[in-house]
Amino acid sequence: MNMAANMNLENQMLLHDLKSPVQALCALIESAMDSLDREQIKLFNKAKSRASELLTTRKKKLSDFHVEDAINEVISEKQNRLKDIQIKLPKGNHFLSVERKEFQRVLSNIIDNAIDAIENKGGISIKTNLHKNHLNIHIRDTGKGIDDLTLMRILKTGGSFGKAHGSGLGLMHAKKSMNQWGGKLEIDSLQGHGTVVSLSFPLEKAPNKGGL
């Protein structure tokens, strides 16, 4: 079982373990409702509702999602900003055990950086490929590129390159998220020629619904 699958399993187990004591505590308080005043009852009901909401939301966030669909959503939202984009998606139904919205946020930040790096005309290509049960996403731009020292500074302490009000936090956040998911973020950039950002995710295969 890969790291992403282990993280998902551990989180699901934690949610399961938390559910029982929360339910027991609620039952205990409900049995003593007669001794509580109106404000205490109101506070209890509010806390109970919030606990239930957190458990449900967290479980939903950790559900596997379809990778190709998530990528297409991000791309479609940026069509009006993209000067040139080539899309190549792997065949099959591939799933990730990470938070879908967070995955899309990481991808969105990287694509935005690529767009900002391009002066006048240029191109951006997004390609994916499978290798040893990993989904690799490569975002390539024909922008101004980044020298090695500047790239190291951005990844380590933030800061931007070629943007008047940029902070570089999007790239730092992407690297942190990839590390948490057991994946990798690699950047290959040549000043004056462009940049390639590569994301490598451990994959979950789609459940076989045919029963074979």
Over the stretch 24-48, which tens digit does the pLDDT of each residue have? Answer: 677 767 777 788 888 888 877 877 7
Whether pLDDT at 150 is above 90? no
Instruction: Say yes or no: 54 and 73 in one domain.
Output: no
pLDDT band at 18 (very low <50, low <70, confident <90, very high): low
Residue 166 resides in a domain: yes
Distances (CA, A) of 123 to 72, 144, 194: 18, 12, 10
Q: Which residue among 46, 61, 76 closes a domain?
A: 61
User: For residues 121 and 164, which has the higher predicted lDDT (pLDDT)?
Assistant: 121
Whether pLDDT at 165 is above 50? no
Residue 211 resides in a domain: no
Instruction: Say yes or no: 188 and 99 in one domain.
Output: yes
SS (H, E, C) the chain: CCHHHHHHHHHHHHHHHHHHHHHHHHHHHHHCHHHCCHHHHHHHHHHHHHHHHHHHHHHHHCCCEEHHHHHHHHHHHCCCCCCCEEEECCCCCEEECCCHHHHHHHHHHHHHHHHHHCCCCCCEEEEEEEECCEEEEEEEECCCCCCHHHHHHHHHHCCCCCCCCCCCHHHHHHHHHHHHCCCEEEEEEECCCEEEEEEEEECEECCCCCCC
CA gap 141, 30 in Å, rounded: 60
pLDDT band at 209 (very low <50, low <70, confident <90, very high): very low
pTM above 0.85, yes or no: no
Count of domains forming the chain: 2
Quick one: average pLDDT of 44-72? Answer: 71
Cβ(195)–Cβ(141) under 8 Å?
yes
Cβ(189)–Cβ(195) under 8 Å?
yes
pLDDT band at 189 (very low <50, low <70, confident <90, very high): very high
Instruction: Say yes or no: 21 and 92 in one domain.
Output: no
Residue 210 resides in a domain: no
Residue 116 resides in a domain: yes
Whether pLDDT at 83 is above 50? yes
Whether pLDDT at 61 is above 80? no
Q: Which residue among 18, 34, 61 closes a domain?
A: 61
Instruction: Say yes or no: 78 and 136 in one domain.
Output: yes
Instruction: Say yes or no: 117 and 172 in one domain.
Output: yes
Instruction: Say yes or no: 81 and 121 in one domain.
Output: yes
pLDDT band at 197 (very low <50, low <70, confident <90, very high): very high
Q: For all residues of the chain together, what is the average pLDDT?
A: 75
Residue 212 resides in a domain: no
Instruction: Say yes or no: 117 and 44 in one domain.
Output: no
Q: Which tokens hold the place of 91?
A: 């065949």
Cβ(134)–Cβ(178) under 8 Å?
no
Instruction: Say yes or no: 125 and 185 in one domain.
Output: yes
- Which amino acid appears at position 174 of this protein? A
Given this model, what pLDDT does residue 206 score?
46
Instruction: Say yes or no: 170 and 183 in one domain.
Output: yes
pLDDT more than 70, % of the chain: 67
Name the residue range of residue 93's domain. Answer: 65-205
pLDDT band at 188 (very low <50, low <70, confident <90, very high): very high
Whether pLDDT at 8 is above 70? no
If we measure between CA atoms, which residue out of 55, 61, 69, 73 comes closest to residue 19?
55
